[in-house]
Amino acid sequence: MRKQIAAANWKMNLTLQQAETLLHEILTTNEIEKENQEVVFVVPFPYLIPAKQRINGKKNFSVAGQNCYTKKSGAFTGEVSAEMLKSVGAKYVVLGHSERREYFNETNSVLAEKIDVALSNDLIPIFCCGEPLSIREADRQNEYVEVQLQESLLQLNSETIQKIVIAYEPIWAIGTGKTATAAQAQDMHAYLRTIIQTIYNREVAENVSILYGGSVKGSNAKELFSQADVDGGLVGGASLSATEFTQIIQALK
Ligand code: PGA
């Protein structure tokens, strides 16, 4: 059975003290009993170790990096490798977030390299895809997102692709308060699953978790997550509030 995930993407927010308080509140009010559910804290690099320590083996909670570099190691001042993330206890790494694509020029082919380096260090990539507003307005979102998958992910073999988590995040919904409707999310998620089914097979497609991201809140999470092909969310703004994020965790199916 594929995983359902509530992932908190803190982006470049919070001091260490604020982060510790937030984690404490979330960890003391939430238990994840179902084996196929998980809460992932996608935290800034300096907070990976303290976050991992706070989680302290609590069942079905884990930490993730927000990015990693394409290279294994070496003279790349300011970058963080997949091996480093693994060594401090990260289980996942977010790759291809639209902010990385836009502000740091991450292309589909760079992301293909990052996917490979993450997987070879036993990190699970949470691969982000999603279209800008102009593409949605032209009703070309399916082909746009298909190219993102084709150029970064679909080179993987059928065993490996099942390890990936995909996050569909329409750019027009990120940080805007303008969530995709549950039907829009479901349509795209079903389409993504069809692409995977066509290239691999139905069983493989059914095993890939596909998260929705873009203004997920406590008030809309339940409707979004109840869609057949929506397996949880990648949450920005609302993950900075313990109350909001707790509602989102509780909205997992
Ligand atoms: P948002 O961000 O929830 O603030 O829209 C989502 C994301 O960027 O992952």
Q: Does residue 169 have an active-site annotation?
A: yes
pLDDT computed for residue 1 by the predictor: 84
From 99, 168, 174, 225, the mutation candidate for ligand 1 (largest count of ligand atoms within 8 A of CB) is: 174
- Mean pLDDT across the chain, nearest whole number? 97
Sequence length of the chain is: 253
Q: Is 240 in the pocket of ligand 1 (CB under 6 A)?
A: no
103-160 residue pLDDT tens: 999 999 999 999 999 999 999 999 999 999 999 999 999 999 999 999 999 999 999 9
Q: Is 234 in the pocket of ligand 1 (CB under 6 A)?
A: yes
| Rounded (10°) CA dihedral 12, 14, 16, 17 | 180
Atom in ligand 1 nearest the alpha carbon of residue 215: 5
Q: Are strands 124-129 and 209-213 parallel, antiparallel or unpaired?
A: unpaired
pLDDT range class, residue 72, cuts 50, 70, 90: very high
CB 40 within 8 A of CB 8: yes
DSSP string, 125-148: EEEEE---HHHHHTT-HHHHHHHH
Q: Is 237 in the pocket of ligand 1 (CB under 6 A)?
A: yes
Which tokens belong to 222?
Answer: 């339940």
Q: How far is the CA of 170 from the centre of ligand 1 (A)?
A: 10
Q: How far is the CA of 240 from the centre of ligand 1 (A)?
A: 11
End-to-end Cα separation, the chain, in angstroms? 13
Cα 68 to chain centroid distance, Å, stands at 14
pLDDT range class, residue 49, cuts 50, 70, 90: very high
| Whether pLDDT at 226 is above 90 | yes
Which member of 97, 99, 131, 189 is catalytic?
97
Q: What is the mean pLDDT of residues 85-97?
A: 98
pLDDT computed for residue 195 by the predictor: 98
Give which of 233, 68, 213, 239 is closest to 145, Cα–Cα: 213
pLDDT computed for residue 123 by the predictor: 98
pLDDT range class, residue 230, cuts 50, 70, 90: very high
Which member of 99, 106, 131, 169 is catalytic?
169
CB 49 within 8 A of CB 55: no
* SS3 category, 164: coil
pLDDT range class, residue 248, cuts 50, 70, 90: very high
pLDDT computed for residue 113 by the predictor: 98
pLDDT computed for residue 237 by the predictor: 97
Atom in ligand 1 nearest the alpha carbon of residue 167: 9
Looking at ligand 1, which residue's alpha carbon is closest to its atom 2?
Answer: 236
pLDDT range class, residue 253, cuts 50, 70, 90: confident
